[in-house]
Structure 1
Amino acid sequence: MVTAVDLDLAQVRAFVRTAEELHFGHAAAELSISQQALSKRIARLESTLGSRLLDRGGQGVRLTEAGRRFLEPARQTLAAADLAVAAVLDTRRPLRIDVWGHLYAPMRTLAQVATGEPRLELGHGRDLPSAITALLHGDIDAAFGRVHAPLPAGLTHRLVRLEPVDAVLNADHPLADAPAIRPAQLRDGVLWTPGPLHRLDFLHRFALAFGIHQHAEGTNLGLDHLPADLAADPRRFTLLPADLPLPPHPAIRSVPLIDPTPLYAWSLLRRDNGGHPLLDTLTSAFAAEAERRRWLEHDPARDWLPEHPGTDNG
């Protein structure tokens, strides 16, 4: 029989932040307390549990084996506590949702299901890891973008849209006037990416799948700057959603991709133990819109996905 232990949530929060930062100074600053107060909270927690959770030495801060076992349940405990408080105090606050995947314009999809809802507070996560961190910390209620990695315990996602993408090419590219392009025909081109290719999972997997070995990295300054980025080399191309309105410019062409058609998977990411009252409403709206617009149609013989978009990783 396990003896019941009443945990002090301030102590648990101190441990979790320190375990994530692996730095007492940074964790203390995050919690707006002194390092001395942080150390005392963690020491009291370790005393309560009868186990050392963190090693503090010349090599920095490291989790002990007990600390590693305790970390994920501790995160879930804090998330549950935050939800309990929100159920009483935050019923009228906006639903906080971050989006990422800016080159692929996530707001285009979100806006189609959230129009007219005044209680959404939108932010912009840099990428999936930052959205995961914000969710685990309780800084946001949900996130929307492409999920492409195993998720930590306590988080789940729902696939809501598979969006075809086109090739967008320099007007002088040999394939710029083609009515359609097979991805394999692009292997001699130069894939332009809005950042390091290894950090852009969809484009990275596309390049590997279709033998595209040359790429040029740039900065994502928005679609208005894309023509200049592609014009720098007649072999350049990139990928964008098929129905995304491009700025009119004589230097670029948008051409459909076929045999197969690449699909970009959009998911709604959330904690799996409930949440803000509007979250179920938003999830239902996504499901209804997906059915109405046939967003989830997928033919493996015709379409290409980097991996099968299941319910636990997309």
Structure 2
Amino acid sequence: MDLDLAQVRAFVLAAEELHFGRAAEELSISQQALSKRIARLESTLGRRLLDRGGQGVRLTEAGRRFLEPARQALAAADMAVAAVTDARRPLRIDVWGHLYAPMRTLAQVTAPGPRLELGHGRDLPSVIAALVHGDIDAAFGRVHEPLHPGLTHRLVRLEPVDVVLSADHPLAHMPAIRPSRLRDSVLWAPGPLHRLDFLHRFAESFGIRDRAEGTNLGLDHFLADLAADPRRFGLLPADVPLPARPAIRSIPLVDPTPLYAWSLLWRGDGGHPMLDALVSAFAAEAERNRWLEYDPVRDWLPERDQGFASSDA
């Protein structure tokens, strides 16, 4: 039998969301149209794939068996289309973690690599949504679980993190600072801390109970807030170029040195024909610059990053 891929796509989205409204919204169709597509697919197969009852949407046993092969069929179809239509268009890549300047690494790796169309995701969840929907081909930033099952990621850089604080901070004269010495200071977060996973886990690991949250209005605003309050400190990768500000100090963190983990993220079904070249370019640059060196005695990574470092370093 020949399957209608529009019907298969409707089923897969409904099975992943377990909610007809959200699945219909992703496809930009009505719930009624979504239901009709799935009903026609079930009629073609002669099996009920989804149960719709008072407790919501659930996969039947046949639906569970059909789901993964259905995903593979859609991936193969997408790749067939991409082989014809995508060869000439730029590779679309989003970055996030803007305060930490991800473009520094991306520019170093890709020049003079494949043609890129750059975008800016707000955060990891928004980037994941863009990848899943096919709006972008790849993304670059800090990745942590859980991820969508259809995505693949690769750790490409572990970057030492410095503490940034006011010249009037009690520790501003130190040549280097242990993270534990910051317990009496206030961590300044450029956004809700529960959405800034690295900063949240740093504070939890080193017993920093005082936190202040603001809006990410860029590096200049971030540094101005630090300069205005000698109790506060922030964290920035050591390689981020800071504007000349006599009221600000950037000091290395040691014993241990926190590392910020940068990863490349893409759909597991491949996609754009230049994606392999981009992944290879990242791997070569990481090896050339020893970006993946990690010593658990000397360095600190959030627990959820440690598995990535162990497998890739």
Q: Normalising by structure 1, what TM-score?
A: 0.88
Change (3 A) 1:50 1:293: same
Q: 2:173 aligns with which of 177, 180, 197?
A: 177
Letter in 2 for 1:170: S
Mean CA deviation greater in 127-136 or 283-292: 127-136
**Which residue is 2:269 aligned to?**
273
Provide the aligned C-alpha RMSD in A: 2.5
1:89-168 counterparts in 2 under 5 A? 89-117=85-113, 119-168=115-164
Letter in 2 for 1:131: V
Instruction: After superposition, give the CA deviation of every residue in 1:273-293 in whole Å (9 maximum; x if it has no partner).
Output: 333221111111111211221
SS at match of 2:246: coil
**Which residue is 1:310 aligned to?**
308
Change (3 A) 1:57 1:42: same
**Which residue is 1:87 aligned to?**
83
Q: 2:257 aligns with which of 243, 258, 261?
A: 261
Pair 1:213-2:196 in alignment: no
Instruction: After superposition, give the CA deviation of every residue in 1:266-311 in whole Å (9 maximum; x if it has no partner).
Output: 1111223333221111111111211221111222221111131428
Instruction: After superposition, give the CA deviation of every residue in 1:254-277 in whole Å (9 maximum; x if it has no partner).
Output: 111011111111111122333322
Pair 1:64-2:48 in alignment: no
Q: Normalising by structure 2, what TM-score?
A: 0.88
SS at match of 1:264: strand
Change (3 A) 1:217 1:296: same
Q: Distance in 1 between matches of 2:310 and 2:70?
A: 21
Letter in 2 for 1:14: A
SS at match of 2:148: coil
**Which residue is 2:187 aligned to?**
191
* Identity level (%): 80
- Say whether the 8 Å CA contact 1:183–1:257 is kept in structure 2: yes
Instruction: After superposition, give the CA deviation of every residue in 1:111-156 in whole Å (9 maximum; x if it has no partner).
Output: 1011234621112222222222222222222111111114333322
- Say whether the 8 Å CA contact 1:157–1:312 is kept in structure 2: no
Change (3 A) 1:284 1:214: same
Letter in 2 for 1:130: S
Q: Distance in 2 between matches of 1:224 and 1:269?
A: 29
Q: Distance in 2 between matches of 1:311 and 1:235?
A: 33
Q: Distance in 1 between matches of 2:48 and 2:269?
A: 29
- Say whether the 8 Å CA contact 2:226–2:232 is kept in structure 1: yes
**Which residue is 2:231 aligned to?**
235
- Say whether the 8 Å CA contact 1:191–1:237 is kept in structure 2: yes
- Say whether the 8 Å CA contact 2:96–2:140 is kept in structure 1: yes
**Which residue is 1:36 aligned to?**
32
Q: Which consecutive unaligned segments of at least 5 residues does structure 2 have?
A: none
Q: Distance in 2 between matches of 1:80 and 1:128?
A: 26
Shift of 1:29: 4.5
Shift of 1:15: 2.5
Letter in 1 for 2:76: A
Q: Distance in 1 between matches of 2:45 and 2:292?
A: 48
Instruction: After superposition, give the CA deviation of every residue in 1:149-178 in whole Å (9 maximum; x if it has no partner).
Output: 143333222111110010011222111121
Q: Distance in 2 between matches of 1:194 and 1:236?
A: 12
Q: Distance in 1 between matches of 2:15 and 2:311?
A: 25
Change (3 A) 1:217 1:52: farther
Q: Which consecutive unaligned segments of at least 5 residues does structure 1 have?
A: none
- Say whether the 8 Å CA contact 1:99–1:145 is kept in structure 2: yes
Matched pairs, number: 309
- Say whether the 8 Å CA contact 1:149–1:313 is kept in structure 2: no
Letter in 1 for 2:108: Q
Change (3 A) 1:199 1:65: farther
Q: Distance in 2 between matches of 1:313 and 1:212?
A: 30
Shift of 1:221: 0.9
